[in-house]
Amino acid sequence: MVAREIAALIRSRQAERRTAVLGLATGSTPQQLYAELVRMHREEGLSFANVVTFNLDEYFPVQPSALRSYRHYMQANLFDHVDIDPANTHVPDGTAPVSSLEVLCREYEERIQAAGGIDLQVLGIGRTGHIGFNEPGSPRRSRTRMVTLDPLTRRDASGDFGGVESTPRYALTMGVRTILESRRVVLMAWGQHKAEIVRAAVEGPVTPQVTASFLQEHDNVHFVVDRAAAGALTRYRAPWLLGALGDQGLSWDAATMRRAIIWLSRLRKKAVLKLTDDDYNEAGLEDLLRIHGSAYEANLAGFYQLQHTITGWPGGRDPARTRPGDAPVRTLRAPSAGVFPKRILVLSPHPDDDVIGMGGTLCRLVEHGHEVHVAYQVSGANAVSDEALARALRFARDSGLAGAEGAARIAALCGDHEAGALPDTPEVRRLKGLVRRLEALAAARVCGVPAGRLHFLDLPFYNAGPGSRRQLGDGDRAIMGELLTQTRPHLIFAAGDLDDPHGTHRLCLHALRDSLSALAREPWVGEGELWLYRGAWSEWPADEIDMAVPLSPQEVLRRRRAIFCHETQKDMALFLGDDRREFWQRSEDRSRRLAETYNSLGLAEYEAIEAFKRYGPAEFIRDLPL
């Protein structure tokens, strides 16, 4: 849609023998846009001969030829593949001496003016709310200048630079005012990790703390977002606040009703079954009274929807243990729902996500007699400190178990560094991966999963060297495809936790999606069901949960024991992130809080709950919230 708009602009200007002036962004967001423009050039004869471009920003300092420079990005993604005159492409100069930056930035503004101003500005949005690199605090009147990058922005970019330390600290960027002077603005955002900031930009106050919010004052701007990035907007979370659903092209389907009733119960701080006609009316939910006839009926409908998410039989009920009168398990819906026992595949991006995210459910599934496989997708070597590996090596040496030859090898590896600091060699990475593998084996023993059903995939994308971008390759997809073909699972549990700081979970989920779509014709794929759990970083919102597995206090303790097996990830773990709580604490806090939420909605009081969201394979391939 955006490419079509740009093409129409270029063509209409061609007809008038005028130039079209485009403001361009880099990053992951506009990649598909540029790919589509290149396709239009090749297949539909779209010419860029009359196009002038100005890029928003560039890292500083950086050589244009550097792999991660924005000049290089633009050449590789667009300019090298279309007939644009190189003299018409402008990207701020990351090589200029600091003393000349003021002049250089002023000239950039003057060039934009001389070109007649920007006709259409393409934007992405950073998680700090930045447009261009206008980080929090950038005033509305700001112009092209040098800026310091926000720590969150640097962390998000660190995957491209092989670590935060090697990620640039500075950039040159058009100012907020420069952007607002464009005649038309299109901001694009994809993925769940952008949802909160999109909401802040669109619905929050206009503030320099979220520079994208200044776009609210522009009179010709469109936000183009996918469903996941739209997820926090009122239009999605509470559309009834914006008028009749029918007028918005929506309807009162079961999911919307459940969302509304949970929302109302929280708003009125009352259990669902205690909501009254007045509660519904005063909150603008009179539609639900009309549909159900009364608050009593609406409450019951909402209550049962919630109730039916709860099951102690996450893989379905064992027919041999079912007595007449037992409530049916309503969570499983796929054709394979009745199969018992099932083949179940739990995908754990790192070697500890399985027990952190769904350790209680994992134990249940094993106990119920299913054939449970756990596949650890990456080695997790990056998160093992040198100190932890050196200690293990010293143990092998000092115990005499390594023998003379082993001791010599250990000495060669550790050198004189008794306290740690090992070289970053493939051998050291392999050994660190082994440390995590042994921890995963110990945790799986706690959960009762036999070693023969553990799969250590060691996906190659994770091992990209420092300075190189991590991306999925055919090797990763082939390994995933082979695992799926080998296990042919009825149920797949995968981490749908897309806020992990290093993007590993997202790539692991991509790998699953790609291999499932390659196998889409296999009958077992269509018969199965996919459940996404959340790892250490965030929980599903209550209104998106399709299966809630309650845990007893004993099960919580058993899960804790399993998490404890991941000793290298305890208090001194390298990647705890901004949250100082350890992983077992996060896991317990989260599942206890969810149990409290269910209880406050008026459902039974449990010690803890683990939650899952359902996807049929087809919808997963289509709608994955990336």
Task: Give yes or no for residue 135 binding ligand F6R (CB under 6 A).
Answer: no
How, if at all, do strands 170-173 and 57-60 pair? Answer: antiparallel
> CA–CA separation, 523 vs 210, rounded Å?
48
Task: Give yes or no for residue 131 binding ligand F6R (CB under 6 A).
Answer: yes
Which residues, 6+ apart, have CB-to-CB distance to 4 below 8 Å? none
**Exposed, middle or buried, 289 (CB in 10 Å: 0-12/13-18/19+)?**
middle
- Judged by DSSP in three states, 509 sits in helix
**Shortest distance (Å) from residue 626 CB to ligand F6R:** 12
- In 3D, which of 388, 464, 379, 383 has the Cα closest to residue 422? 388
Minimum CB distance to ligand F6R smaller for 27 or for 314: 27
Binding ligand F6R (rule: CB under 6 A), the pick from 94, 126, 168, 535 is: 126
Which residues, 6+ apart, have CB-to-CB distance to 386 below 8 Å? 417, 420, 421, 422, 428
Which residues, 6+ apart, have CB-to-CB distance to 621 below 8 Å? 513, 516, 517, 520
Minimum CB distance to ligand F6R smaller for 469 or for 593: 469
Task: Give yes or no for residue 147 binding ligand F6R (CB under 6 A).
Answer: no
Contact 352, 377 (CB under 8 A): no
- In 3D, which of 480, 388, 497 has the Cα closest to residue 433? 388
**Shortest distance (Å) from residue 537 CB to ligand F6R:** 18
Which residues, 6+ apart, have CB-to-CB distance to 105 below 8 Å? 92, 143, 144, 145, 146, 172
**Shortest distance (Å) from residue 188 CB to ligand F6R:** 8
> CA–CA separation, 582 vs 572, rounded Å?
9
Task: Give yes or no for residue 28 binding ligand F6R (CB under 6 A).
Answer: yes
- Stretch binding ligand F6R (CB under 6 A), from 25-33, 213-221, 268-276, 381-389: 25-33
**Shortest distance (Å) from residue 361 CB to ligand F6R:** 33
Binding ligand F6R (rule: CB under 6 A), the pick from 132, 315, 360, 535 is: 132
Contact 75, 186 (CB under 8 A): no
**Shortest distance (Å) from residue 593 CB to ligand F6R:** 29
**Shortest distance (Å) from residue 576 CB to ligand F6R:** 24
> CA–CA separation, 335 vs 339, rounded Å?
9
> CA–CA separation, 379 vs 479, rounded Å?
14
Site for ligand F6R in 161-200 (CB under 6 A): none
- Stretch binding ligand F6R (CB under 6 A), from 131-139, 251-259, 378-386, 401-409: 131-139
Task: Give yes or no for residue 94 binding ligand F6R (CB under 6 A).
Answer: no
- Stretch binding ligand F6R (CB under 6 A), from 121-129, 278-286, 569-577, 583-591: 121-129
Binding ligand F6R (rule: CB under 6 A), the pick from 41, 71, 130, 558 is: 130
Site for ligand F6R in 30-59 (CB under 6 A): 56-57
Q: How many residues bind ligand F6R (CB under 6 A)?
A: 14
**Shortest distance (Å) from residue 133 CB to ligand F6R:** 6
Residue that the structure tokens 């290149």 belong to: 38
Task: Give yes or no for residue 27 binding ligand F6R (CB under 6 A).
Answer: yes
- Stretch binding ligand F6R (CB under 6 A), from 15-23, 122-130, 433-441, 510-518: 122-130
Task: Give yes or no for residue 108 binding ligand F6R (CB under 6 A).
Answer: no
Task: Give yes or no for residue 22 binding ligand F6R (CB under 6 A).
Answer: no
Asked about 544 being catalytic, the answer comes back as no
Task: Give yes or no for residue 374 binding ligand F6R (CB under 6 A).
Answer: no
CA distances from 323 to 318, 326, 333, 550, 551 (A): 10, 6, 21, 21, 22
Binding ligand F6R (rule: CB under 6 A), the pick from 3, 10, 25, 38 is: 25
CA distances from 465 to 61, 367, 405, 424, 427 (A): 22, 41, 29, 10, 14
**Shortest distance (Å) from residue 270 CB to ligand F6R:** 40
Minimum CB distance to ligand F6R smaller for 94 or for 132: 132
Minimum CB distance to ligand F6R smaller for 181 or for 588: 181
- Stretch binding ligand F6R (CB under 6 A), from 19-27, 267-275, 330-338, 446-454: 19-27
Minimum CB distance to ligand F6R smaller for 156 or for 610: 156
Contact 51, 10 (CB under 8 A): yes
Minimum CB distance to ligand F6R smaller for 125 or for 480: 125
> CA–CA separation, 270 vs 557, rounded Å?
31
How, if at all, do strands 491-495 and 343-348 pair? Answer: parallel
**Shortest distance (Å) from residue 507 CB to ligand F6R:** 15
Minimum CB distance to ligand F6R smaller for 12 or for 28: 28
The enclosing H or E element of 197 equals helix 195-203
How, if at all, do strands 529-533 and 608-615 pair? Answer: antiparallel
> CA–CA separation, 131 vs 139, rounded Å?
12
- Stretch binding ligand F6R (CB under 6 A), from 128-136, 313-321, 381-389, 594-602: 128-136
HEC profile for 257-313? HHHHHHHHHHHCCCCHHHCCHHHHHHCCCHHHHHHHCCHHHHHHHHHHHHHCCECCC
Task: Give yes or no for residue 133 binding ligand F6R (CB under 6 A).
Answer: yes
Residues paired with residue 210 on neighbouring β-strands, in sequence order: 207
The enclosing H or E element of 344 equals strand 343-348
- Stretch binding ligand F6R (CB under 6 A), from 27-35, 375-383, 389-397, 400-408: 27-35
Minimum CB distance to ligand F6R smaller for 130 or for 342: 130
Task: Give yes or no for residue 124 binding ligand F6R (CB under 6 A).
Answer: yes
Catalytic residue among 58, 135, 439, 529, which? Answer: 135
**Residues in touch with ligand F6R (CB under 6 A):** 25-29, 56-57, 124-126, 130-133
Catalytic residue list = 135
